[in-house]
């Protein structure tokens, strides 16, 4: 599906199939602007953002610089914001992030780079912010401002309540913003309470603004900014009054917009089988009637006249979708004959959290299930767990008289590092190894609870993850080669991939991209297998998206929960719980599986205790 404008939004909006395509589009806009200004001997003034959203943009600009000679020597940059207080060399500093992510790889002159100083004395902040505004004006104003949008609707760090005319200043961060940043700081308690930010008025003075949003978790706030009245509760909505702003979204971030959620309300549509299914399921759940009970009046009363006229009557439409949904029910997901099945798990617990019940069913049906853990997951282990396990190994070795001298030396290094470790400081090599070992042994225990022996487990430790920090490196060519080699060695009938894409540059998405590259290569070499996508801990596929559901009995679900419990370092309180959801992973998994079964029951389909859903990947999209 190509990119397209979305009708009836208050700000021009383009939706792209993927975040990478949207990022490339913005990079080409910037390239065109820079080349045009360079040829005229003028500077190009860019307003830049940080965070996961623009990472793809910066990587594409770096590629254009290295491969096509895009010259940044006349570019002047102004960054939106910085935490306060924050040293420039701190791992969480936006100044350092910009250097490592972008500036170190292109030829922007150091004197042309402007990033708010997080260590300005508090008494001087007001004057410093006024000077930052003056520097922007002296540069001739910002030609193109790049923005992201926070879950509170903030642009920069202009939190709810910021006025339309506010300028560069110090702000107090919203609790939601601090919570969202907690993963980068290894805990919410390490996130600064304040920041320096360009004001809304400053941003609105840019000649052109591009705001990007990627992932399902941005869908709700994007809808508010684009479809609701301008309000200081959502500062991104102020962009409705800007003369040249464009929203660029991937499909998940656009999912809550009326034109995407219910396009038949906006205007005439082409009634494809997928859209028919979506509309009829929506209607069934909206009116609280089973599919086989829908009437013509239900369609007429909910803006579905055209569907009724072109494909009705209502009884026929209900029967059609009922039959389709019945076809998704699958009690033997891997078929009747025994075969190799390969489950890719981005972290060492995604397999059991997301599709543990299906794994249990396949093992019970004599399928040989292999699990490939793609990353170590070591940054998601608390320091106190590493301390405890270090103590355990020392006492274990002492008890059995095993190399006590060397063990004590390792313990002393680890304990000394932990005693002096500053908040949010990346772990030492010793600590990363210990935390990886914790996750590895938990994964073996979790898989065994599902009936999978250790010899059917693969610990890939892909290179892109080995940064020791939240920020990840690009996918390494050898990572893809390793996956291809694994596919060739096992020759699976089916593979299962995490299709949870909320974070456009998070581990799940990057693992999926690496797998998809490998699948294309493997298929090009003659390998044939099905590719099924499962969702992560946060949400299930929408009912109209589901192509297969696997029924789980109460016993299956209890065994699945027992497997999740084996991941003790993620129990009770996980390092990265995800957003504001305080439920434990086993609770999310149980609630999701029970909810999917209730949805099927509401549609008038057979009643099950719990269901796990899957979507098939066909090479260029899921459907």
- The DSSP result for 560-617, as a single string, is HHHHHHT-GGGSSS-SS--TT--S-HHHHHHHHHHHHHHHHHHTTPPP-SEEEEEEE-
| Inter-residue contact 354 to 537 (CB < 8 Å) | yes
Counts of helices then strands in the chain (DSSP H, E) = 21, 18
Do 499 and 441 lie in one domain? The reply is yes
User: Are residues 144 and 90 part of one domain?
Assistant: yes
**259, 279, 307: which is the final residue of a domain?**
259
Reference 248, options 274, 273, 276, 218; nearest CA is: 218
Using an 8 Å Cβ cutoff, are 133 and 200 in contact?
A: no
**What is the structure's pLDDT at 623?**
43
**DSSP H or E stretch at residue 325:** helix 314-326
To 10 degrees, what angle do helices 383-399 and 429-449 make? 80
- Mean pLDDT, residues 553-570: 96
Query: What is the C-alpha to C-alpha distance for residues 191 and 86, in angstroms, rounded to an integer?
Result: 10
The answer on 440 and 322 residing in a single domain is no
**Which one-letter DSSP state was computed for residue 231?**
B
Those residues with Cβ within 8 angstroms of residue 418's Cβ, 6 or more apart along the chain or in another chain = 383, 386, 387, 431
- What DSSP line would sit under 410-468, residue for residue? HHHHHHHHHHHPPTTPPPPHHHHHHHHHHHHHHHHHHHHHTT--GGGEEE---GGGTTS
Q: Do 321 and 361 share a structural domain?
A: no
Mean pLDDT of 593-612: 97
Q: How many domains does the chain have?
A: 3
Q: Using an 8 Å Cβ cutoff, are 22 and 250 in contact?
A: yes
In a domain, 446, yes or no: yes
Six-digit token pair at 257?
């917009």
Contact 174, 160 (CB under 8 A): yes
> Using omega within 30 degrees of 0 as the cis cutoff, is the peptide bond preceding 507 cis?
no
Q: CA geometry: angle at 480 spanning 478 and 483, to 5°?
A: 110
Lowest-pLDDT range, 124-133, 219-228, 258-267, 451-460?
258-267
Block residue for tokens 């609105």: 204
**Which of 599, 539, 576 lies closest to 217 in space, CA to CA?**
539
Please give the structure tokens belonging to residue 410.
């390792």
CB contact burial 233-245 (16+ within 10 A = b; e otherwise): ebbbbbbbebeeb
Q: Which two tokens stand for residue 55?
A: 């990472």
Q: What is the mean pLDDT of residues 34-62?
A: 96
For the record, the structure tokens of 281 come out as 């399921």
What is the Cα–Cα distance from 29 to 400, expressed in whole angstroms? 66
The predicted pLDDT at position 310 comes to: 96
User: Which CATH number do you get for residue 228?
Assistant: 3.40.50.1360
For residue 319, give its domain range: 262-326
| CATH number, position 516 | 3.40.50.10320
In a domain, 351, yes or no: yes
Question: Strand, coil or helix: what is 259?
Answer: helix
- Residue 15's pLDDT band (cuts 50, 70, 90): very high
Mean local confidence (pLDDT), 48-67: 95
Decide if 302 is inside a domain. yes
Nearest alpha carbon to residue 439 among 352, 324, 356, 526:
352
Looking at the fold, whether 345 and 268 belong to one and the same domain comes out as no
- Mean pLDDT computed over every residue of the chain: 93
Q: What is the pLDDT of residue 622?
A: 47
pLDDT at 505 over 70: no
Whether 191 and 112 map to the same domain: the answer is yes
pLDDT score of 469 more than 80: no
Listed residue (250, 256, 236) closest to 502, CA to CA: 250
Residue where a domain terminates, one of 207, 226, 259: 259
Sign of CA dihedral 521, 546, 301, 225: negative
Across 423-429, average pLDDT: 84
493 within some domain: yes
The answer to whether residue 451 sits within a structural domain is yes
Q: What is the pTM of this model?
A: 0.87
Please provide the distance, in angstroms rounded to a whole number, between the alpha carbons at the two ends of the chain. Answer: 11
Phi and psi of 279, rounded to 5°? -65, -45
Distance CA 342, CA 458 (A): 10
On whether residue 389 sits in a domain, the answer given is no
Are 255 and 113 members of one domain? Answer: yes
> Distance between CA 126 and CA 282 in Å, rounded?
52
Distances (CA, A) of 429 to 379, 411, 413, 432, 434: 12, 13, 10, 5, 9
Tokens read off for 411: 């313990």
What's the mean pLDDT in 480-488? 97
* Residue 3, domain member (yes or no): no
| Percent with pLDDT over 70 in the chain | 96
Question: 277 and 254, same structural domain?
Answer: no
DSSP annotation of 456 reads G
| pLDDT exceeds 80 at position 582 | no
Give the per-residue pLDDT at 470.
60
Phi and psi at residue 505, to the nearest 5°: -125, 25
Mean pLDDT value of segment 571-575: 73
Active site residue 555: no
Q: Does the structure show a pLDDT above 60 at 496?
A: yes
Return the CA Rg of the chain.
Answer: 26
Q: What gap in Å lies between CA 233 and CA 238, rounded to an integer?
A: 10
Q: Same domain for 294 and 240?
A: no
pLDDT digits (tens, 9 = 90+) for 318-362: 999 999 999 999 999 999 999 999 999 999 999 999 999 999 999
- The arithmetic mean of pLDDT across residues 237-254, rounded, is 96
Is the separation of the CB atoms in 602 and 519 below 8 Å? no
121-176 tens-digit pLDDT: 999 999 999 999 999 999 999 999 999 999 899 999 999 999 999 999 999 999 98
310 and 440 share a domain? no
Exactly one of 133, 159, 442, 500 is catalytic; which is it?
159
Provide the sign of the torsion angle of the four alpha carbons 519, 522, 523, 529, taken in this order: negative
Is residue 623 a contact partner of residue 274, using CB atoms and an 8 Å limit?
A: yes
pLDDT of residue 502: 56
* Cβ atoms of residues 527 and 406 within 8 Å: no
On the CB side of 404, CA atoms within 13 Å amount to 6
Do both 131 and 267 map to the same domain? no
On whether residue 591 sits in a domain, the answer given is yes
464 and 604: one domain?
yes
Indicate the residue among 230, 259, 288 that finishes a domain: 259
- Averaged over 361-372, what is the pLDDT? 98
Strand ordering across the sheet containing 494-498: 457-459, 368-373, 340-345, 494-498, 530-534, 610-616, 548-552
């Amino acid at each position: 599906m190509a990119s397209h404008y979305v009708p009836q939004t208050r700000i021009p909006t383009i939706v792209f199939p993927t975040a990478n395509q949207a990022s490339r589009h913005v990079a080409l806009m910037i390239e065109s602007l820079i080349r045009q200004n360079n040829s005229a001997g003028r500077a190009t003034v860019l307003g830049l953002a940080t965070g996961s959203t623009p990472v793809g943009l910066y990587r594409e600009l770096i590629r254009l610089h290295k491969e096509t000679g895009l010259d940044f020597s006349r570019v002047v940059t102004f960054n939106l914001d910085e935490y306060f207080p924050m040293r420039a060399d701190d791992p969480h500093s936006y100044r350092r992030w910009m250097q490592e992510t972008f500036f170190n790889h292109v030829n922007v002159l150091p004197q042309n780079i402007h990033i708010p100083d997080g260590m300005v004395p508090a008494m001087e902040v007001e004057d410093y912010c006024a000077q930052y505004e003056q520097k922007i004006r002296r540069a001739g104003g910002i030609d193109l401002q790049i923005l992201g949008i926070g879950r509170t609707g903030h642009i920069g760090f202009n939190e709810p309540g910021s006025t339309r005319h506010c300028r560069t200043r110090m702000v107090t961060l919203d609790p939601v913003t601090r919570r969202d940043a907690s993963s980068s700081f290894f805990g919410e308690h390490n996130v600064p309470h304040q920041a320096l930010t360009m004001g809304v008025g400053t941003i609105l003075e840019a000649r052109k603004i591009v705001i990007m949003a990627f992932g399902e978790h941005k869908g709700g706030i994007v809808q508010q900014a684009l479809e609701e009245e301008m309000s200081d509760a959502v500062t991104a909505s102020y962009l409705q009054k800007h003369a040249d702003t464009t929203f660029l979204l991937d499909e998940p971030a656009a999912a809550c917009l009326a034109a995407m959620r219910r396009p038949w309300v906006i205007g005439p549509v082409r009634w494809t089988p997928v859209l028919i299914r979506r509309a009829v399921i929506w209607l069934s759940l909206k009116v609280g009637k089973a599919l086989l009970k829908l009437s013509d009046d239900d369609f007429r009363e909910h803006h579905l006249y055209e569907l009724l006229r072109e494909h009705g009557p209502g009884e026929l439409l209900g029967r059609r979708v009922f039959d389709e949904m019945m076809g998704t029910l699958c009690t033997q997901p891997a078929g009747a004959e025994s075969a190799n099945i390969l489950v890719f798990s981005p972290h060492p617990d995604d397999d059991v959290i997301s599709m543990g019940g299906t794994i249990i069913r396949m093992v019970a049906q004599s399928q040989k299930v292999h699990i490939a853990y793609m990353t170590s997951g070591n940054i998601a282990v608390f320091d106190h767990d590493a301390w405890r396990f270090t103590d355990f190994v020392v006492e274990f070795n002492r008890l059995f008289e095993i190399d006590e001298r060397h063990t004590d030396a390792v313990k002393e290094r680890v304990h000394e590092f932990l005693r002096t470790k500053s908040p949010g400081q990346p772990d030492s090599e010793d600590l990363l190894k210990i935390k990886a070992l914790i996750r590895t042994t938990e994964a073996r225990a979790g898989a065994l609870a599902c009936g999978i022996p250790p010899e059917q487990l693969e610990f890939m430790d892909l290179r892109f993850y080995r940064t020791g920090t939240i920020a990840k490196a690009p996918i390494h060519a050898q990572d893809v080669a390793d996956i291809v080699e694994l596919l060739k060695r096992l020759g699976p009938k089916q593979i299962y991939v995490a299709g949870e894409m909320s974070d456009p540059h998070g581990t799940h998405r990057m693992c999926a991209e690496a797998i998809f590259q490998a699948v294309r290569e493997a298929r090009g070499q003659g390998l044939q297998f099905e590719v099924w996508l499962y969702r992560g801990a946060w949400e299930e596929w929408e009912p109209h998206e589901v192509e297969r559901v696997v029924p789980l009995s109460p016993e299956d679900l209890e065994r699945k929960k027992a497997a999740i419990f084996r991941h003790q370092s993620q129990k009770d309180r996980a390092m990265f719980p995800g957003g504001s959801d305080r439920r434990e992973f086993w609770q999310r998994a149980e609630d999701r599986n029970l909810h999917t079964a209730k949805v099927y029951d509401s549609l008038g389909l057979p009643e099950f205790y719990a269901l796990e859903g899957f979507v098939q990947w066909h090479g260029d999209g899921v459907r």
